[in-house]
């Protein structure tokens, strides 16, 4: 890699680790080589792919789809405040897939009567 290219680009797995999306660089490498990372809509399979500011990354993280625009390249893996300056988060808001519990009314520990009523109000047992 020439001196100019080194100043304007960075390895994809290294940037993902510097930006604190993955706890280790090997996890970032595994995500890229498994085909879970896209750059500007194109699937990338090489962890050494050159990443430049202005590119858009799409990947899954903790059952959430992340879309980030690269704003700057990293020189080190610093604190979270430095890492957040490396990108702009374009991700859609997270959905809550957990259904609400219709039986729980927030009254504290259920009494024996509450447990019997909950048991009787549920679906009938299969026979």
| Per-residue model confidence as pLDDT tens digits over 17-69 | 999 999 999 999 999 999 999 999 999 999 999 999 999 999 998 888 999 99
Q: Are strands 37-39 and 42-43 parallel, antiparallel or unpaired?
A: antiparallel
Instruction: Say what the pLDDT of residue 108 is.
Output: 80
Structure token digits, residue 12: 């994809």
85: pLDDT strictly greater than 90:
yes
Q: Which domains does the chain have, with CATH numbers?
A: 3-89 (3.10.290.10)
Cα–Cα distance measured from residue 81 to residue 92, given in angstroms and rounded to the nearest whole number: 21
Give the residue from 103, 98, 111, 32 showing the smallest Cα distance to 63.
98
Instruction: Say what the pLDDT of residue 100 is.
Output: 66
In sequence order, the 6+-apart residues with CB closer than 8 A to the CB of 24 are 17
Tell me if 70 sits within 8 A of 51, measured CB to CB: yes
Task: Write the DSSP symbol of residue 94.
Answer: P
In the chain, pLDDT over 70 holds for what percent of residues?
82
Which CA distances in Å does 118 have to 104, 109, 110? 10, 13, 10
Mean pLDDT of the chain: 87
Instruction: Say what the pLDDT of residue 57 is.
Output: 97
Cα–Cα distance measured from residue 20 to residue 37, given in angstroms and rounded to the nearest whole number: 15
What is the value of pTM for the model shown? 0.71
Cα–Cα distance measured from residue 77 to residue 60, given in angstroms and rounded to the nearest whole number: 21
Q: Are strands 50-51 and 42-43 parallel, antiparallel or unpaired?
A: unpaired
124: pLDDT strictly greater than 70:
no
């Amino acid at each position: 890699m020439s001196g100019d290219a080194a100043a304007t680009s960075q390895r994809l797995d290294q940037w993902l680790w510097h930006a604190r999306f993955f706890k280790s660089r090997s996890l970032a490498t595994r995500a890229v080589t498994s085909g879970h990372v896209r750059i500007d809509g194109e699937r990338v399979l090489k962890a050494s792919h050159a990443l430049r500011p202005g590119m858009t990354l799409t990947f899954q993280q903790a059952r959430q789809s992340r879309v980030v625009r690269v704003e700057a390249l990293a020189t080190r893996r610093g604190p979270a405040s430095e890492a957040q300056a490396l990108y702009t988060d374009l991700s859609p808001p997270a959905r809550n897939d957990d259904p609400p519990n219709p039986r729980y009314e927030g009254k504290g520990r259920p009494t024996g009567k509450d447990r019997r009523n909950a048991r009787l109000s549920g679906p009938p047992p299969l026979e």
